[in-house]
Amino acid sequence: PNECTDEEYKEFYRKVFQDFKEPLFWIHLNMDYPFNLKGILYFPKINMEYDSLEGTIKLYNNQVFIADNIKEVIPEFLMLLKGVIDCPDLPLNVSRSALQNDGFVKKISDYITKKVADKLTGMCKTDRETYEKYWDDIAPFIKFGCLKDQKFAEKMDDYIIYKNLDGKYLTLKDCMDKAKEEGHENQIYYVTNEKEQSQYINMFKANGQDAIIMSHSIDNPFISQEEQKHENLKFLRIDADVNDTLREEVKEEDKEALKKQEETLTETFKKALGDDKLQVKVEKLKDAEISSMITLSEETRRMQDMMKMYNMYGMDPSMFGGQETLVLNAKHPLVQFVADNKDSDKTPVICEELYDLAMLSHKQLSPEEMTRFVQRSNEILLMLTK
């Protein structure tokens, strides 16, 4: 390794893999005992949303090519990488089942896993700036590795980092310490789509609260694994519920009036939207400018996401469990108007618009819903001209 220049590593990569996108970095394996093994593993920029999940690791015996991607020798998660490995001690002509049951082959696999983990943890310890620079690109690979390989997960446990709303990188311990300071111990809030959840992000920021960005498809199973590993830890999407720090404390003498208002608004919105199953909650939010928002419990959303992923028996994900809850801000003038004027001609239009505005901040509207929303918005603007 000490005789190779960066340019030689890159030229070798281009020549072997016909890939003209530069690798992020690489690991040079060079071992004589207890077995002979040489190789280079390259970390390409991994985009698991669009690219094939499989990289290419070429296996050789004394420079004689054996095969690509032999899963019995190379740990499954490392298949996302590109590389070459030359191991003269590997039998040239042997069945896959024999390789699978070969203790020697298992040692090679464990060694490669250890070297990759050592490279990553070493980079995090000694060159945190570079580690953070690469993190967004290598995070899917590392998380996939943690899901697939317990030893790798144990080694990487303290070196998984999370990007917060300010673009800073925090360890899980940092996140948990911050959550405790903010008054929601063991609960870490996360964002999956910064544009769609911008209303919730702004509320959090206005109240001095933080969240982490978890926008990749691998993040869903990864956070479930983290919750299993750490007792009491709970990841909640930023729109899972109205956080205590975002709402005003209601005085005891005002609770009854707020409850009655909730009953009136629930009945009015159900009628206006033609939805008997609509769940409505009335809160006094600190931010008086927010009129309405949508929340969906973490458990329900995860189950719906899982059903979408597996397309279970062609069932509609919304059939499973609870629906979204429409949260209305008791302090907002439009909500107050609906509560005080449930029989007004304007009330149904305002209810529909408040519901759609809340939905827009939660997820994309369907084409039909968007068409109705645009038509109604135009009608409301025309009313202003009369």
Each residue's pLDDT tens digit, 55-64: 788 888 888 8
Mean pLDDT of 174-195: 92
> Strands 187-191 and 212-213: what pairing?
parallel
pLDDT > 70 in the chain, percent: 90
Q: Under DSSP, is residue 344 helix (H, G, I), strand (E, B) or coil? A: coil
Over residues 351-369, the mean pLDDT reads 91
Q: When comparing pLDDT for 69 and 124, which is higher?
A: 124
Burial profile 274-292: b = 16 or more Cβ within 10 angstroms, e = fewer: eeeebebebbebebeebbb
Q: Which of 45-49, 112-116, 141-145, 373-377 shows the lowest per-residue confidence on average (mean pLDDT)?
A: 45-49
Rounded to whole angstroms, the Cα distance separating 92 from 61 reads 7
Residue-averaged pLDDT of the chain: 87
Which phi and psi (to 5°) does residue 344 adopt? -70, 150
Nearest to 81 by CA among 127, 36, 137: 137
Evaluate if residue 180 carries a pLDDT over 80: yes
Dig out the tokens for 236 from the structure.
Answer: 């909640």
Give residue 34's pLDDT.
Answer: 77
pLDDT grade, residue 102 (50/70/90)? low
Beta-sheet pairing, 292-295 with 325-329: antiparallel
- 357 has a pLDDT exceeding 90: yes
User: Above 70 in pLDDT, residue 332?
Assistant: yes
Q: Which region, left, alpha or beta, applies to residue 134 given φ > 0 means left and ψ of -120 to 50 means alpha?
A: alpha
Q: How high is the pLDDT of residue 225?
A: 94
Structure-token pair, residue 265: 């608004």
pLDDT at position 122: 95
Per-residue pLDDT, averaged over 267-289, amounts to 92
pLDDT confidence of residue 364:
84
Question: Which stretch of 106-110, 271-275, 283-287, 318-322 has the lowest confidence by average pLDDT?
Answer: 318-322
Q: What is the pLDDT of residue 75?
A: 81
Cα gap 216→226, rounded to integer Å: 15
Confidence of residue 66 (pLDDT cuts 50, 70, 90): confident
Query: What pLDDT was estimated at residue 322?
Result: 56
Least confident of 26-40, 50-64, 135-149: 50-64
> Is the pLDDT assigned to residue 85 strictly greater than 80?
yes
pLDDT value at residue 163:
96
In this prediction, residue 112 carries a pLDDT of 87
* pLDDT at residue 50 is higher than 70: no
Omega before 88 within 30 of 0, i.e. cis: no
Percentage of the chain exceeding pLDDT 90: 53
Place of tokens 């909730």: 262
pLDDT for 212 equals: 96
pLDDT value at position 301? 81
- Cα dist from 203 to 199, 200, 238, 329, 364, whole Å: 6, 5, 10, 13, 20
Please give the backbone phi and psi of residue 280, each rounded to the nearest 5 degrees, phi first.
-125, 140
Residue 317 has pLDDT above 60, yes or no: no
Task: List 162's β-bridge partners, or say none.
Answer: 170
Q: How many separate helices (H) and strands (E) can be counted in the chain?
A: 13, 13
Q: How confident is the model at residue 375 (pLDDT cuts 50, 70, 90)?
A: very high
Mean pLDDT across 244-256: 84
